[in-house]
A and B are shown apart, each in its own frame.
Chain A
């Protein structure tokens, strides 16, 4: 009794018949292919260098931390819930859009005053040569401190037994 051929067997039979039309030749060809297969199956992949895994993991560690899609989803959810809660609290406190705009305008005026004051301060320092004086004093103080520290350093002290 013969078993039915699967697709691969049928394909192989077709290829063999194509390569060797004569039945004896075909059988010899099939036999040489079988022998070659035995030799091929004995081959094995070579081992990579011993430090391969360590080298890969070093490259992986050097990569920026991956953020998973789940973490991104959680972050967006938290931000949306936070914003929604803030908006709800704001509306429930009885504040209106007009009030918010007024507060914003007052904030801008105050910020302008701070900037003008800061500019005036800088101009005063420049006019009175305060900056060079401050830097010179700071350098003198630093040099003095470093000198004192070197003087009291342990390597400069002699231990008497």
Chain B
């Protein structure tokens, strides 16, 4: 993939479940939770960097979504609405923490591989991924968030702008600056290791 090029998806895949959940169908809400648990938990984990806190906040996110389901505007994508709730809850916690912790990064759960790699490939890929995750963990909350949403969750710049509540035109600049900081941190880490 090039430096640019993710396209927006205008479909509303969650609308049927949302409507059923509004009518009191708990299995429909469970389907929504199942479908969105990974991006919501992932965003919380990248922002909070604590698995226990991320789990708690992700659960709270879905509870808030359930409580305010009537307020959801059906013309907007449901997943972005839920991610915005998750982001706001995470930011509340980060504000309470009052300081950025750049050490004691918890190891993330292993990512899913798209093919069957050999053990050597797997070890190298894991090492590479770990270096990248470690470097990402040293970035600011804003930088981590924008990188996670764009590259990990494959969101468009417009969607990220909705979630972060900023103008879409600022996202490319934020991404560039975050990448540049990440590149610098990785170069420093490589030089330190050499």
Contacts and interface: CB of A to CB of B under 8 A. Distances in A.
Nearest to A37: B3
Interface stretch (B10-18, B72-80, B88-96, B147-155): B147-155
A82 B169 CA distance: 57
Interface string A7-49: 1110110011001000000000010111011111111111111
Contacts of A33: 3, 176, 179-180, 183
Interface stretch (A56-64, A93-101, A146-154): A56-64
B111 interface: yes
Interface of B: 1-4, 22-24, 26, 29-30, 33-34, 37-39, 41-43, 45, 55, 58-59, 62-63, 66-67, 69-70, 108-112, 125, 128-129, 132-133, 147, 151-154, 157, 169, 172-173, 176, 179-180, 182-183, 186
Contacts of B110: 46
Interface residues of A, number: 40
B37 A48 contact: yes
Interface string A63-79: 10110110000000000
A36 B179 CA distance: 8
Contact of B63 (A6, A32, A59): A59
Contacts of B157: 8
Contact of B172 (A11, A44, A49, A52): A11
Interface of A: 6-9, 11-12, 15-16, 19, 30, 32-34, 36-49, 52-53, 55-57, 59-61, 63, 65-66, 68-69
A73 B41 CA distance: 37
B70 A68 contact: yes
Residue of B3, B45, B69, B157 with most partner-chain A CB within 10 A: B3
B152 A60 contact: no
Given A19-B180, A43-B151, A68-B70, A55 B172 contact: no
B26 A60 contact: yes
A19 B180 CA distance: 9
Contacts of A65: 24
A37 B24 CA distance: 43
Residue of A40, A59, A68 with most partner-chain B CB within 10 A: A40
A60 B132 contact: no
Given A15-B172, A43-B152, A47-B109, A56 B2 contact: no
Given A15-B176, A30-B3, A43-B151, A53 B67 contact: no
Contacts of B179: 33, 36-37, 40
Given A46-B111, A48-B58, A52-B55, A34 B3 contact: yes
Nearest to B150: A40
Nearest to B59: A56
Nearest to B30: A57
B41 A12 contact: no
B41 A45 contact: yes
Contacts of B67: 63, 66
Nearest to B61: A56
A9 to B, nearest CB: 6
A7 B109 CA distance: 37
B58 A43 contact: no
A68 B62 contact: no
A-B residue pairs, 7 tightest by C-beta: A45-B42, A46-B109, A40-B151, A48-B41, A44-B111, A15-B176, A11-B172
